[in-house]
A and B are shown apart, each in its own frame.
Chain A
């Protein structure tokens, strides 16, 4: 048995994984990263639009702070998130943006003086402050009160990934490329590493570590059409399920992005609409204001995707050989803006559609984009069931997104979550010994070898690609934007049948080294189990919340469903997961459930909501009007962070006014931000 040991093992070399690796290495721990591909090719690179952080440098971001970012995030999640985690995140996001600047990210900067922008289809002039010149800029994104999304043109993920990987290279952190994890090595209580297969030589290796961090991204590719890279197949979630003890959280929470191009499903960034782009129907009519008069094209992603689908169901879609679509119109932004701030979008339009987006409208349709669900963790990023197993980024359900993620909050989660959880991983490595149980490791290596032997030498005749295509079609047809009981039941039935068939998988290519068919066969079984956690979770959740929209249960039901779905797979032979639920405690919330601001306010209230609101009013009254916003926040919902991340974030407004808290505000012609936690449910 090939045995490799380290202190900190990270599976996945995207932004979140690399950031954790750097945090552990900074503290002197031996650190090793595994990746299917070269680190810089990770799907993080595809994030275009930007990352949210409440810097408040641009005039359209004045008055922004952690409180406003927190509130936007909680509302965006449809109150499904862990508010403590959302707080940790909002507090550290400005730190991460600034750290990334120190590591080389060329953030787009504010230019002082007048600047023309497009807001609500009109060209208006905003005037940037002299003092803001050269500070980090931000653009508008959906579901946010302020312009908060920091960016480098429309290649933000690329710039971040390159800066972070360069940092990892400078620290000498090894990345074992073209290696795929097949099992987590564990004893039912503690995680000890992974068994992985080299995709070039086929060698099986046991990687033993004090702490193992899963940072393998989302599971978008269980769907037929997805904006995700083809490697986003949910294998990290499957590894956790395979342990039989670890849980996945809210797997049914799947986001559909409003504007992927038709038919190939490649993303055009939300920045297109943030910068002023419009959605139009087959008559060229701008329809979003009819549905969402206030936020229009910049409502939350789940809302825009549903409204687009509704509009197409009314026959207003543009017919194409690939089904109906709508138009994204960015022509009004002008060629110069497109060729500087939206140039990746322009390249995609030219190469895949043969159109010029400065002249032509872009054919778009809502498409699977993001996995809010993932490996359930505590706020420190650790699995509640398996000590020493951490998860971070899209792979995790840390749970800052609940049932809908805001645009710009996932790229932010990778580096912010990585920064925070990396410190907890380093703590874990400080406080725990490496447990080298070669017998345990050998058992998992044998298990992997037996599976490979059976696929190559066995009698199985099922084809991996066919099973995968069938699964992807089931997910597209029955577990999409709008869901209902009968279709979800059908999805579960068909997926179970596919999982049964997957027991008879075989490969025709008999090579034990580089063998694409073997890789596919190993993955498809794992993917089917992940797909079943999504479909079963969706079938069981008889309410609508965020991206989970049930036609037969259209109301958000806080009374019965203010809880997180947990899925595990204790019996490997079973055909479906075990579901359980973790309640969200209203009495601990800083922002009790309220109206999100879209459509009818028809949520079924939780009995504690009114009690908690009264309690909050009481706490705030006792503090008096002179309490700082930080003191008010701490009184409502104290949260922990590693000590080095606790200091307050300085803003331009603090320097100009000499103040230290966000109570000081520059005057501007925007509506003032809500500055007080918990008072704003509009």
Chain B
């Protein structure tokens, strides 16, 4: 695909700049082979507009920093190849549902930290032998594998931006919140009961608010089983009422 001239339509807005208004700005760039949106944005900044704001860290699809809306779909920009777009037109928008820092940069970090504090997204150990000098407690190998499977979430925010419920109800915990709850609920080392989790997500802001549109499942860059976990939590939470 090299040799094409790509057209980028990029959302530009600096909320700290007095008088600035949101707008779309068009840029053109010669495509090179293997070009990703990461490479393209850096070149645009270095060669055409040094004020352009966006976030990348690992540039390898691991850290979750660079989610943005590319031609209508939220995804990780670092691993999106420009060759994927046959027309050579790429529209970039910041992730909706998060505080805008500027242009394509949004504050997912602040959102995720607040979510973790609100839902207490950390292991609450059952107690027992926590002596680090002694042999560890065994865990079923299948359980460990299952926990890792659910733990692959990179907090990129794609599920939040792809969620219609979240767009309508600001306090909704989103697929990221429920995935993490499911992860700790399944962890045999965690001392919280189903009742404890019910208090956190057994309501409109949690599993019973989900409209099952499954934008989370469709767009999650880590292919996490959101649908399955939300259904699992619903059944689990409903069973606490029996």
Contact = CB atoms under 8 A, between A and B. Distances in A.
B65 interface: yes
A158 interface: yes
B50 A516 contact: yes
B46 A465 contact: yes
B52 interface: yes
B45 interface: yes
B135 A650 contact: yes
Interface stretch (A323-331, A445-453, A507-515): A507-515
Contact of A169 (B16, B53, B122, B141): B122
B34 to A, nearest CB: 7
Contact of B58 (A38, A43, A178, A507): A43
Interface in A26-44: 37-43
Nearest to B146: A106
A38 B105 CA distance: 13
Interface string A156-172: 00110011001101100
Nearest to A177: B109
Interface string B9-37: 00000101100000000000000011010
Nearest to A108: B144
A634 interface: no
A238 interface: no
Contacts of B184: 104
B125 to A, nearest CB: 6
A231 B57 contact: yes
Contacts of A102: 123, 125, 130, 132, 189
A386 interface: no
Given A104-B123, A229-B63, A98 B132 contact: yes
A514 B16 contact: yes
A170 B122 contact: yes
A200 B101 contact: yes
Interface string A106-144: 111111000000000000000000000111110000000
A652 B155 contact: no
Contact of A175 (B36, B113, B154): B113
B112 interface: yes
A629 B133 CA distance: 18
Contact of A108 (B109, B122, B138, B148): B148
Contacts of A137: 141
Interface stretch (A183-191, A340-348, A470-478, A601-609): A340-348
B102 interface: yes
Interface in B117-176: 117, 120-123, 125, 130, 132-141, 143-145, 147-148, 151-152, 154-155
B210 to A, nearest CB: 24
Interface in A292-346: 321, 340, 344
Contact of B34 (A135, A155, A264): A264
A155 B57 contact: no
Contact of A45 (B63, B113, B137): B63
A505 interface: no
A230 interface: yes
Most buried by B among A153, A201, A263, A267: A153
B123 A169 contact: no
B182 to A, nearest CB: 13
Interface string B57-86: 111111111000000000000010100000
B1 interface: no
B167 to A, nearest CB: 22
B123 A152 contact: no
Contacts, number: 190
A201 B17 CA distance: 11
B136 A101 contact: yes
Interface in A255-283: 263-264, 266-267
Most buried by B among A98, A159, A201: A98
B189 A104 contact: yes
Given A104-B122, A169-B122, A162 B57 contact: no
Contacts of A266: 59-60
Contacts of A652: 135
A136 to B, nearest CB: 6
B17 A511 contact: yes
Contacts of A41: 57-58, 63-65, 109
A351 interface: yes
A38 B109 CA distance: 5
A352 interface: yes
A649 interface: yes
A233 to B, nearest CB: 12
B31 to A, nearest CB: 14
A263 B17 CA distance: 38
Contacts of B208: none
A37 B135 CA distance: 36
Contacts of A175: 113
Interface string A459-475: 00000010000000000
A170 B34 contact: no
Most buried by A among B53, B123, B125, B130: B123
A651 interface: yes
Nearest to A170: B122
Interface of A: 37-43, 45-46, 95-99, 101-104, 106-111, 133-137, 152-153, 155, 158-159, 162-163, 166-167, 169-170, 175, 177-178, 200-201, 229-231, 263-264, 266-267, 321, 340, 344, 347-348, 351-352, 465, 507-509, 511, 513-517, 647-652, 654-655
14 contacts: A37-B55, A46-B58, A101-B189, A106-B143, A109-B140, A158-B151, A177-B110, A200-B16, A229-B58, A230-B58, A321-B33, A514-B16, A649-B133, A650-B134
Top 3 A-B pairs ranked by shortest CB distance? A134-B138, A38-B109, A104-B123
Given A40-B155, A41-B57, A230-B56, 12 more contacts: A39-B109, A40-B154, A42-B57, A45-B58, A104-B123, A109-B138, A166-B123, A167-B122, A347-B61, A508-B50, A511-B17, A514-B53
